[in-house]
Amino acid sequence: MDGVLSQEEINALLNNNDSSGNDEILTEAEKDAIGEIANISMGTAATTLFSLVNRKVEISTPVVSFSNWDEIVDEYEKPCVFIKIGYTQGLNGSNILVLREKDVKIITDLMMGGDGTNIDGEIGELHLSAISEAMNQMMGSAATSLSSMLNCTIDISPPVAEVVDLKNTLNEGEIDSFLSDQFVKISFRMEIGDLVDSEIMQLYPPEFVKQMCKGVTENMELDTENVREEPAPAPANTAQAAQTPPPAPQQTPNNANTMNQSAMNQNTNFQNNYNEQPVNVQPAQFTPFGAMPNQAYQPENIDLIMDVPLEVTVELGRTKKSISDILDFGPGKIIELNKLAGEPIDVLVNGKYVAKGEVVVIEESFGVRITEIVNANKSNK
């Protein structure tokens, strides 16, 4: 041999070094522990998500592995939404939840009372605000479960959501510093009714995972010691119980038949007196299943999204022009709209027609006075 390694041998050595590095990140016991922690936490979070979207939510058993930024870029759908969850009490660290852009749009639409199909257009501030509030509720309930496992109070800061295009390079300090090195990836399969069936990921720095595993292990050992130290109940005095003779069987009295006959006579007299009492019988009155009075529909979870900003647009009118007409535009050019003079203008919320109004002047600004609220059928125009 000439002492020169082939390319296959070099690759084998590099792969072996990588695998040994992975083994040093977490032990098998720590991998099992973080998998169980994630399983319990995300199970609680799924229950909370069900109450927000009013759809059946199922999350599969987690898969714990190790990854880096380049592997995430190659494997996951682009773009996606990164949601950073920071821990402010009980634990010191943060983790990142990764969701597909389409899944965020579906969850947002369901939270707003839709059917999950209004997912056209780019993801905006409304989607990020709504998914941040959903994650705040979900991860808050997960922190409660984690508190019981660690036997201490766990609190989180408000989650921060942002759209990430998963470029090939990660700038220093972008999103979170731990993503520039190798980290722990926990993968789940999430299903929401028949609308969502995709993979979500939780990304953890290894030090944070070790911190959680250590806390859970110490709490379990403490519980085990407390169980061992509890005194056993004192044994019963079996010798004394054995010496005590059992009670003698009672003899049936001769007047048993007389007592039974007397009880039957009393029961008969009670029934006769009860039947003689007048009973007021009236037909049952039921409320008819008619149309309910007109009331504004309010989903049960509407309070959770009261602070979500919506874009309000006032439309004076519309028209269609050819390209040649548009090229003739210039200062002083008048464009005729499809609205008549004095006709109410349209008020749109997030692009949906919701009301009519008239233009007013408030000091030096224009305003709109609402004159009519349109119903759901008209608002789909």
The pairing of beta strand 160-164 with beta strand 196-204:
unpaired
Question: Residues 216-221: what's their mean pLDDT?
Answer: 82
Question: Residues 82-97: what's their mean pLDDT?
Answer: 91
263 vs 285, residue with greater confidence? 285
pLDDT surpassing 90 at residue 191: yes
Partnered with residue 271 across adjacent β-strands are none
pLDDT surpassing 50 at residue 233: yes
Q: What is the pLDDT of residue 86?
A: 92
**pLDDT class of 1 with cuts at 50, 70, 90:** very low
282 vs 70, residue with greater confidence? 70
C-beta of residue 32 within 8 angstroms of C-beta of residue 8: no
Select the CATH number that applies to the domain covering 7-226 from these four: 3.40.1550.10, 3.30.479.30, 3.40.109.10, 2.40.160.20: 3.40.1550.10
Question: Residues 15-42: what's their mean pLDDT?
Answer: 74
Contacts of 196 (CB under 8 A, 6+ apart): 103, 106, 107, 190
125-160 tens-digit pLDDT? 889 999 999 999 998 888 888 888 888 888 999 999
Q: What is the pLDDT of residue 326?
A: 86
pLDDT surpassing 80 at residue 9: no
275-331 tens-digit pLDDT? 555 556 566 655 555 545 444 445 556 677 777 888 888 888 888 888 888 888 888
C-beta of residue 344 within 8 angstroms of C-beta of residue 369: no
The answer as to CATH 2.30.330.10 being correct for domain 310-327+335-380 is yes
The pairing of beta strand 57-59 with beta strand 63-67:
unpaired
pTM beyond 0.85: the answer is: no
pLDDT surpassing 80 at residue 122: yes
Q: What does the mean pLDDT of the chain come to?
A: 77
Where are the domain boundaries for CATH 3.40.1550.10 in the chain? 7-226
Six token digits for residue 277: 């009492």
Q: What is the pLDDT of residue 241?
A: 47
Q: What is the pLDDT of residue 16?
A: 46
Contacts of 307 (CB under 8 A, 6+ apart): 129, 133
* Angle (nearest 5°) at CA 348 between 345 and 349: 155
C-beta of residue 125 within 8 angstroms of C-beta of residue 104: no
- Cα-to-chain-centroid distance, residue 245: 65
Q: What is the pLDDT of residue 25?
A: 80
Q: What is the pLDDT of residue 85?
A: 92
C-beta of residue 156 within 8 angstroms of C-beta of residue 133: no
**pLDDT class of 362 with cuts at 50, 70, 90:** confident
